[in-house]
Amino acid sequence: MAKYLLRRFLQLIVVTFVISVLTFLLVHLLPGDPTEQLLGANDTAANRAILLKQLGLNLPIWHQYLIWLNAAFHGNLGTSYLDHESVAHIIITGFPVDLELIIISQVIAFAVAIPLALVTSRKPNRPLDNISTTGTFGLLALPPFVVAPILVAVFAVGLGWFPATGYTPFTQSPATNIHEMILPSVAITAGSIAVYYRLLRSDLISTLQQDFITMARSKGLSTRRIMWRHAFRPSSFSLLAAAGINIGALIAGTFVVELLFVLPGIGYALVQAVEQRDYLVVQGIALVVAVAYVILQFVVDFVFTIVDPRVVRE
């Protein structure tokens, strides 16, 4: 187990290193001379050389990388050249929005997928099962940028049940906040429901054929108890793992709904920064999101090895 975790940890270090190098290099791929941008095209070569030195751009690239990495470790990712806000601050203020979107959408996804799978897996290939399997297959074809506008058109513009845009911090007014977050959260849920339902359904179907289920049945246990305690529990591990991986897709989803619903999350900041060519912000957000994602994968793995020790043996 320790060996497995160590291997995964080394993998984490390597991946994080590669991510940092690549995001660092991004800015250096930019065409043009930064001193020309700052001083104008007509300044003297001597002045340029001084500025180059001041900015540390005369150093070898690996040295620049180390300086940058050191700063990043200390939470200094540079500042936005538009409003001189620090990149770290932009990320910290935007993060709760993304987190809330993801949490609400996952709660909905589990609340729909788990009961549905528990019901349909008991009688596979019956009408109910066929309908839900076909239906969730359709959900796979509904990425957030397709389904979100439709939800807005129907539930915000048409029926007026939810606001089309706007954001109130949770701390300010929880009720308003939730009311505003429901539509965007639902919009990024479709894929998750499909993934969890299909995974759990096929897991359950195979589990239900195991001897210990027959055993439990013959002991006279209630169906409810068999489904939750005996059948669902072993499958819940793969569900957890799937949820961990699914975060990657959800990140893309949050970007889309933040833009559409004008929510001040990281994705919104990122898209703004891209449009304004605010390179340090793009670089900083890319670095932080990618590293956070990788660490999350590691944590999921870690939790996994605790709840399901079989993993290590594979």
**What mask, x for binding another protein by CB under 8 A, covers residues 35 to 64?**
------------------------------
- Given the complex with another protein, which of 25 and 49 has the nearer CB atom? 25
Find the binder of another protein among 68, 91, 114, 144 (CB under 8 A): 144
Number of residues interacting with another protein: please give it, by CB under 8 A: 82
Q: Which is nearer to another protein, 59 or 249 (CB)?
A: 249
- 8-37 residues in contact with another protein (CB under 8 A) are 11, 14-15, 18-19, 23, 26-27, 29-30
Distance of closest approach, residue 114 Cβ to another protein, in angstroms: 14
- The binder of another protein chosen from 52, 242, 280, 303 (CB under 8 A): 242
Q: Hey, which residues between 95 and 124 contact another protein (CB under 8 A)?
A: 124
CB-wise, 124 or 169, nearer to another protein?
Answer: 124
Choose, by CB under 8 A, the member of 39, 178, 213, 311 that binds another protein. 311
169: left (phi over 0), alpha (psi -120 to 50) or beta: beta
Instruction: Convert residues 274-303 into a mask of x (bound to another protein by CB under 8 A) and - (unbound).
Output: xx-x-x--xx-xx--xx--xx--x---x--
Burial of 57 (0-12, 13-18, 19+ CB in 10 A): middle
Terminal Cα distance for the chain, rounded: 11
Closest CA to 241 of 314, 185, 307, 312: 307
- CA 51-52-57 angle, to 5 degrees, is 145
Q: Minimum CB separation from another protein for residue 305, in Å?
A: 9
To the nearest whole angstrom, how small is the minimum distance from the Cβ of residue 309 to another protein?
11
- Min separation Cβ 272 and another protein, Å: 11
d(CA 25, CA 81): 19
Indicate the residue among 50 and 217 with the shorter CB distance to another protein: 217
Member of 69, 155, 237, 303 binding another protein (CB under 8 A): 237
Q: Report in angstroms how near the CB of residue 16 gets to another protein at its nearest.
A: 9
DSSP state of 159: S
Please tell me whether residue 252 binds another protein under the rule CB under 8 A: yes
Which of 75, 115, 135, 138: binder of another protein (CB under 8 A)? 138
Shortest approach of another protein to residue 39 CB, angstroms? 22
Please list every residue from 172 through 231 that binds another protein, using CB under 8 A.
191, 194-195, 198-199, 202-203, 205-206, 209
